[in-house]
Every structure is written in structure tokens, then in C-alpha cells.
Structure 1
């Protein structure tokens, strides 16, 4: 008998709520069955082990991040695809606070300290993101801007940033202006994705 297609998503949604509110250590098939309304057998049909489930949560989070970054890249309207993707990633990193997401990342980091293999989906995504980089001097400078944005994200995540809140938008604008300057120097034949036509 074919299981309802929504069962897998119900399990993932419930698992994420547990990680956000109680931490990955409290995520068991028993607590998940109670929270999701899916039987233990239904859960193991989709996720054979807890590790499989945690990796699926990370993969879903990566997919949501990439979709958001892609949307922001399209909105940037840059003529260089690589610069547009970079700006999308930076804008995603510098987006406003999301307390639920912060708790989710905290829970997953705790789990990854015990099982570093949980971060394999992240490592795979990074390899895909940088597969076409040549790592010449120009791209090293672009990567430096990416590190600046990521550093700002983690500084805020751990509440250790010395940057006053009112200065954050100015720093974000400075990083973006430098990415746009790089895009202006790039090969114009490499086009960024065009925004979808507006509906009238």
C-alpha cells in the first residue's frame, strides 16, 4: 500500500519543531511519532535511522537557503551570474534575525559535534557552489567578501559581534557595493538569471 505523500513532510516538520524547542538530543522516534501523528513504522519507512532523519533536516534547510539565495540573486539584477549568486548568498547571510532558525542551527550544531558526518550535505553543497571557481586573485577577493558576510552572520549568531546595530546595514551595503563593482568588471556574456515577467 502506498503511504500518503504528506507523511514524510509531516515527520520533517515535527522533527524540526523538536530540534528548535528541545534540541536534537530529544529527537527520538517515540517523541517524533507523538508530535507528528505518524507511527514509528511510518517514520522508519522514510528514515531508517535518526542520522538519516537529521541529514534530511539539514538537506531541507539547505534547499530553503538556496531557494532564498536564488530569489535574492535574481532580484539583484547583476549581469554576471557568479556575482549574482555571491550577492544572493551574502544577502541571505545578512538577512534579519530568525530566532526559530537560530535555535534549529544550534540544535544541529550540537548534534554535529557528536557526529560530524551529519554535515556531509553541507560539504556537498559547498563543493557544488564553488565547482566553477578558478580561484584567481579576483575570485579570492570575492571569497573574502563572502567570508566577511559569513563572519558577520556567526558573530551575530553567537552574540559576540562588537558592531552596533545601526552600523550593520552600512556594512552590508559596503559588502554589496564591492560585489557590484566586481560584477561590473566581469565578462558581460555570463548573464545572471532574469527576473520573471510581472503579471498584469
Structure 2
């Protein structure tokens, strides 16, 4: 099936971000990368801001598709634990364009919303508060077990950032071991050392 011109443009813009960064996105650079005229680009995206917002939505959608692929099912059919597992597994597939766009979205509420939608669906939310009672049943080494899924999310995010910024430091076996350890953390499983 042939891709739509809009999708081709977004892929071209994503390739530019991957290679040259977000600031390299101009009508001229995207038109050249996509093999279109500037007028052809303006037809689909009346402003650079429209193109960037569509790019955020497109790449966030790819990220969600990656998690669905890791899970083997759509979001709606998964338990919170299965969604967290998919989120963690997707963290071993960093993408420079994804990283740069996420960082760039921090100053743009509309762009941030594209990423927040995916985060809210797939990862556990930050804790709303911690109990004052130190004798919470199931507490291991002073960590509230209710915090473990969120801690696993933070560990997965850390792996993703590390791999995006310093690729090639782990073998596939090392990465797999780390991912499985993060999944066990999120499930509340502990191993004795």
C-alpha cells in the first residue's frame, strides 16, 4: 500500500530530526528530503508549527505502536502489568528523533499532549503520596510495594535515555538481562543476593 504524501512528509521530517536535530526542520529541508516543492508541503502543513505538531503526534504514535507490538495486543486488551512490561521492553529501542522531539515538547503544551497521551495509557502514574506508616505490609527494604511499578518506569526511562545518548554500550544479552530485571522490579519480584 502506498503511503500518503502527508505520511511521507512526516517520515522525511523525522529523518531530518534523526540526522540533524529539531532546529533543522524548515520547509526547505523537509521539501528537499521528501522530494516535494515548498508549495506541496504548504498544502499539507500551513505552518512550521503545524508540521512540528503533526510530527510529534506521528512519532508518539510510532512509539505506541512499538509498545503494542511488544505486548502482542492493543492497549485496550492489556492489564496494567502487561502495559508496563511492554513499556519496559520498548525502552530497549531508543531513537534519537524520538528523544529530541520529547525534549523539545517540554516547552510546547500541544506537543507535550501527544507524548502525555501515550505515557498516560502505557505507564504507571507518579505516586500521589506515600504512607506515613513505616510498617506497610509487604514493604521490602523500606520501599513501598505500590511504588515499584513507577520505579520500574523510571528505570526503563533511564535505560532508554542511556541507550539513546550512549548507544552500543550493551550487548543484546546484557540489555535483555537489564530489561528482565526492570520487569521483575515492576512486578514486585525480588531476588536475594
Q: Same fold, TM exceeding 0.5?
A: yes
Aligned: 1:127 with 2:127: no
In 2, the alpha carbon distance for the partners of 1:131 and 1:149 equals: 12
Aligned: 1:146 with 2:153: yes
In 2, the alpha carbon distance for the partners of 1:10 and 1:173 equals: 36
Alpha carbons of 1:112 and 1:66: their partners in 2 closer, same or farther (altered >3 Å)?
closer
Q: 1:29 aligns with which of 27, 31, 35?
A: 27
Q: Secondary structure at the match of 1:105?
A: helix
Question: Which protein is richer in helix relative to its size?
Answer: 1
- Structure 2's unaligned 5+ residue stretches are 131-143
CA offset digits 1:10-38 (Å, max 9, x no partner): 21122122222222222211222222232
Alpha carbons of 1:73 and 1:94: their partners in 2 closer, same or farther (altered >3 Å)?
same
TM norm structure 1: 0.66
TM norm structure 2: 0.68
Q: 1:105 aligns with which of 78, 82, 98?
A: 98
In 1, the alpha carbon distance for the partners of 2:122 and 2:182 equals: 19
CA offset digits 1:35-60 (Å, max 9, x no partner): 22323232222212112212211211
Post-superposition offset of 1:131: 8.8
Alpha carbons of 1:94 and 1:10: their partners in 2 closer, same or farther (altered >3 Å)?
closer
Alpha carbons of 1:149 and 1:72: their partners in 2 closer, same or farther (altered >3 Å)?
same
Alpha carbons of 1:74 and 1:134: their partners in 2 closer, same or farther (altered >3 Å)?
farther
Question: Greater relative contact order: 1 or 2 (C-alpha under 8 angstroms, separation 6 or more)?
Answer: 1
Number of residue equivalences: 169
Q: 2:46 aligns with which of 34, 45, 48?
A: 48
Match of 1:174 in 2: 181
Match of 1:190 in 2: none
Match of 1:84 in 2: 82
Q: CA RMSD in A?
A: 3.6
Alpha carbons of 1:112 and 1:81: their partners in 2 closer, same or farther (altered >3 Å)?
closer
Post-superposition offset of 1:72: 1.4
- Structure 1's unaligned 5+ residue stretches are 183-200
